[in-house]
Amino acid sequence: MKFEEAPDVKERIERIVSILDMDHIRIDQVVCMRSFDSTSDANARIWSLPKIWQSALGVKAHYILEVLAQRYDKMSEDDKDRTMIHELMHIPKTFSGALLNHKAKVFDGKGGHKTMRINDKTVEKLFKEYKKIIC
């Protein structure tokens, strides 16, 4: 499989993060890559750098947002935005290097937890908010 940097994806996520107030995401610690010839059915994936690797390497948390060229590049601009929103939702508010799964327990800010889902419905809600602001 071949990889290259994806500056177009980086610009897209910078715009999404700023418009949707995802200020917990440290853009300078998110690397965007485009892969070629993957056999995955995914359009995109997000990779993390877990705490043990951060400690061993002496680095801060980083995430890699990978788009799979053979699928992602054929998508409409709106679907690319939806895909990036979906992937960014996997990054926890702590920006710790962990990843949230599709049905994650997150702190509710009141000392408890709530279930946060990452699915078509929650992505579409954020996408509509995003489109409302940019249009």
**pLDDT tens digits for 80-132?**
999 999 999 999 999 999 999 898 767 667 777 777 789 999 999 999 999 99
The whole-number pLDDT of residue 108 equals 67
Query: Quick one: pLDDT at residue 107?
Result: 67
Of the two residues 18 and 108, the one the predictor is more confident about is 18
Tell me the average pLDDT across 43-55. 96
> Mind giving me the DSSP string for 67-105?
EEHHHHTTS-HHHHHHHHHHHHHTS-TT-SS----SEEE
The pTM score is 0.92
- In the chain, % of residues over pLDDT 70: 96
The pLDDT assigned to 69 comes to: 97
Q: Is 19 helix (H, G, I), strand (E, B) or coil?
A: helix
Return the pLDDT at 40: 92
Cα distance between residue 106 and residue 38, in whole Å: 32
Q: Mean pLDDT for the chain?
A: 94
